[in-house]
């Protein structure tokens, strides 16, 4: 199957955003920067695209102009191993952004992220439907997800 590379449309902040994202995620780097030429439509020498990799997944940031912006219809889910990872990604990605409900946030560029502990899927798929529902109810009341509180809610505590 061909590789799928998400392309993220920015007005002018593509390089700044890529630099931020590679600073947040381990094993990440910028791999290429291209620039508008004389043909435009932006001034020659202005950053056009930035190719970058976040832990093996390629992305491209394009400085396409103000016509399009991000919304919650597209988000990136970070499957965190534990509370420490949830805390790290929540803190870093929400800097200058906006915290939302149920583990969702928008970063300072308007891109939506879901910062989710791996245990959440296990709890929500629990064969005991009541246990799963208690976990779901707890999650719906949270901003940043709290692993201990999710487990306690599932257990009926």
Walk across the sheet containing 98-99 and list its strands. Answer: 75-80, 112-117, 104-106, 98-99
Q: Quote the crossing angle between the two packed helices 147-154 and 129-140, to the nearest 10°.
A: 140
The predicted-structure confidence for 60-119, as pLDDT tens digits, reads as follows: 999 999 999 999 999 999 999 999 999 999 999 999 999 999 999 999 999 999 999 999
pLDDT of residue 121: 96
- Percent of the chain at pLDDT > 70 equals 100
| CB 46, CB 35: distance < 8 Å | yes
pLDDT of residue 157: 85
Q: 33 falls in which pLDDT band (50, 70, 90)?
A: very high
From the list 139, 135, 96, 138, the residue with the least C-alpha distance to 114 is 139
**Within 14-142, where are the H helices?**
14-24, 83-94, 119-124, 129-140
pLDDT of residue 31: 98
Beta bridge partners of 77: 114
pLDDT of residue 66: 96
pLDDT of residue 38: 95
The predicted-structure confidence for 109-121, as pLDDT tens digits, reads as follows: 999 999 999 999 9
Six token digits for residue 22: 């590679």
Tell me phi and psi for residue 144, to 5 degrees. Answer: -65, 135
Give the separation between CA 147 and CA 65, rounded to whole angstroms. 40
């Amino acid at each position: 199957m061909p590789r799928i590379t998400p392309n993220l449309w920015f007005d002018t902040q593509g390089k700044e955003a890529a630099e931020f994202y590679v600073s947040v995620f381990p094993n990440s780097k910028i791999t290429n920067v291209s620039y508008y030429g004389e043909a435009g439509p932006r001034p020659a020498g202005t950053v056009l695209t930035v190719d970058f990799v976040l832990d093996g997944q390629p992305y491209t940031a394009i400085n396409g102009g103000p016509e399009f912006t991000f919304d919650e219809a597209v988000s990136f889910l970070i499957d965190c191993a534990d509370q420490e990872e949830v805390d790290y990604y929540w803190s870093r990605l929400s800097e200058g952004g906006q915290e939302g409900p149920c583990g969702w946030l928008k970063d300072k560029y308007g891109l939506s992220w879901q910062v989710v502990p791996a245990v959440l899927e296990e709890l929500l798929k629990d064969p005991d439907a009541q246990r799963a529902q208690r976990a779901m109810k707890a999650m719906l009341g949270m901003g940043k997800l709290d692993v201990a509180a999710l487990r306690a809610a599932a257990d009926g505590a």
